[in-house]
Amino acid sequence: MPKSKENMRNHALKRAGELKDSIKEYLEYSKTIRTGMKEWEEIRKRQDKIRSIFGVTEKKWRDWKWQIGNRIEDVDTLSRILPLSAGKMEEISLTGSKFRWAVVPYYLSLIDPEKLHDDPVYLQSIPSIQEYEDESGVLDPMFEEFTSPAPAVTRRYPDRLIINVTNQCAGYCRHCQRRRNIGEVDYHTSRDKLKAALQYVAENEEIRDVLLTGGDGLMLADKTLDWLLTELDHIPHVEMKRLGTRVPVTLPYRITTELCEILSRHMPLYVNIHFNHPLEITPDSRDACLALARCGINLGNQAVLLKGINNHPFVMRKLNQELLKIMVRPYYIFHAKGVKGTRHFRTRVEEGIEIMEKLRGFTSGLAIPTYIVNAPQGYGKTPMLAEYLVSMGANKLVIRTWENRIIEYDNVNYEENT
């Protein structure tokens, strides 16, 4: 081999060794991260136990309407499934008197009974005394009540808006930004209000993008969803529709063949999902996402940065990589909002920026979402970015790479100099 080629090969081998060393820590740590795929055998055993308590067959268990009809929302039923002390049951009941809670049997089966203190699904699903004692924050940090120009409509941007179609979810997340709307009774937005919202969209031709959410957009009946999407299809200036949902995570059986067939008729349609931890990605949630993807639906994930759940660079990296394996593109990481009762989930913004820096360059660009802080009083999403531009001169930049190398970069416009 010529000496010049040998030098280049040696340089390449040295660089490859540096890159290999840079990922060793993550590879070791990732072995300790709980995932739904790794724990599926144990999850299935827990499902068998829950099915025996309810006395239902496997077929019935996979019926999403049965799951909704049998949500666990009282401590007596919960204590038959999870080992709760008398003190913990009292705390759950007390907090539940202030903030509603419910969880479907499927999502509950992901909880490891021996790890309740740090189980990411337990922490997201079951009330804690910290919620009850927290008097900070507000119930409407997004000022949605002040940005609703028509029934069921939230508008914060020039060309897009939200239609809130229901207050119902498969389960009620403890960090929910709309917990003020949950109430004690599930209800879907009335047909009259939906028609008024559609009329508002039709009368404002700058609206090109409509998001159906709630609650959970996929809690609507198939026929109602089909009607609503068809009405939007008939508005000429609406270019795209989006659905906000958590059911592929908490209730994957909702993604039926019939639902997929309906959704496939309303392209372009985008579905935003809400996975927060790799434990939530199971064979069942994978199958639900792949079923949607096979319809041609683009899937994006909107995680929330939550203390004690996913506020670790390697956990977030693992989550995003697992999402890509099931055809879900990481879209946003939201900084947790200042919702009353959720202070114990909030991190500092610096933690989010550090997580983003440990993603950029260390994993695929597809696995890197945008880190977002929602501006107070409904002023919209604001990206929080790490600083890679160190300085800027007339013809030269100084940049910082993902490895913290400081490098000069030529910024000359040669056409201007000729």
- Are 274 and 307 contained in the same domain? yes
- Residue indicated by tokens 């939201």: 334
Give the pLDDT confidence score for residue 143 in this predicted structure: 66
- Are 297 and 360 contained in the same domain? yes
Tell whether 99 is covered by a domain: yes
Asked whether residue 418 carries a pLDDT value surpassing 60, the answer given is no
Question: C-alpha distances in angstroms, 118 versus 267, 316, 317?
Answer: 41, 16, 19
Q: Give me the helices (H) in 70-162, please.
A: 75-81, 86-96, 105-108, 120-125, 129-133
Tell whether 181 is covered by a domain: yes
153-158: long-range contacts, CB 8 A cutoff, minimum separation 24: 153/197, 153/200, 156/378, 156/379, 156/380, 157/380, 158/206
Length of the chain equals 418
Tell whether 20 is covered by a domain: yes
Q: Which domain holds residue 219?
A: 144-383
Helices 3-30 and 313-325 pack at an angle, to 10 degrees, of: 100
- Are 226 and 294 contained in the same domain? yes
Q: Give every CB contact of residue 122 below 8 A, 6+ residues apart in sequence.
A: 82, 111, 115, 116
Helices 313-325 and 349-357 pack at an angle, to 10 degrees, of: 60
Tell whether 138 is covered by a domain: no
Q: Of 223, 379, 378, 243, give the one whose Cα is nearest residue 299.
A: 243
- Are 118 and 7 contained in the same domain? no
Widest pairwise Cα distance in the chain:
82
Q: Of 68, 88, 63, give the one whose Cα is nearest residue 78.
A: 88
Q: What is the mean pLDDT of residues 206-233?
A: 96
Tell whether 392 is covered by a domain: yes
- Are 121 and 237 contained in the same domain? no
pLDDT digits (tens, 9 = 90+) for 259-275: 999 999 999 999 999 99
Query: What is the CATH number for 345?
Result: 3.20.20.70
- Please identify, among 101, 129, 157, the residue that sits at the C-terminal boundary of a domain: 129
pLDDT digits (tens, 9 = 90+) for 352-408: 999 999 999 999 999 999 999 988 777 788 888 888 888 888 888 888 988 889 988
Cis peptide before 252 (omega within 30 of 0): no
Per-residue pLDDT band for 64 (boundaries 50, 70, 90) equals very high
Distance of alpha carbon 311 from alpha carbon 348, whole angstroms? 10
Q: Of 237, 246, 255, give the one whose Cα is nearest residue 161.
A: 237
Asked whether residue 308 carries a pLDDT value surpassing 80, the answer given is yes
- Are 104 and 23 contained in the same domain? no
β-pair partners for 392: 397
pTM of the model: 0.93
Tell whether 135 is covered by a domain: no
Question: C-alpha distances in angstroms, 171 versus 175, 249, 256, 265?
Answer: 12, 10, 19, 28
Tell whether 271 is covered by a domain: yes
Distance of alpha carbon 398 from alpha carbon 9, whole angstroms? 29
- Are 316 and 352 contained in the same domain? yes
- Are 241 and 316 contained in the same domain? yes
Upper half-sphere CA count for residue 42 (Cβ side, 13 Å)? 13
β-pair partners for 1: none
- Are 358 and 403 contained in the same domain? no
Q: How many domains does the chain have?
A: 4
pLDDT digits (tens, 9 = 90+) for 93-145: 999 998 999 999 999 999 999 999 999 999 999 999 999 998 887 777 666 77
Give the pLDDT confidence score for residue 416 in this predicted structure: 55
Q: Of 338, 328, 284, give the one whose Cα is nearest residue 303.
A: 328
- Are 170 and 272 contained in the same domain? yes
- Residue indicated by tokens 């709307």: 181
For 381, phi and psi rounded to 5 degrees?
-75, 135
Tell whether 180 is covered by a domain: yes
- Are 237 and 310 contained in the same domain? yes
For 162, phi and psi rounded to 5 degrees?
-110, 140
Q: Give every CB contact of residue 204 below 8 A, 6+ residues apart in sequence.
A: none
- Are 284 and 217 contained in the same domain? yes
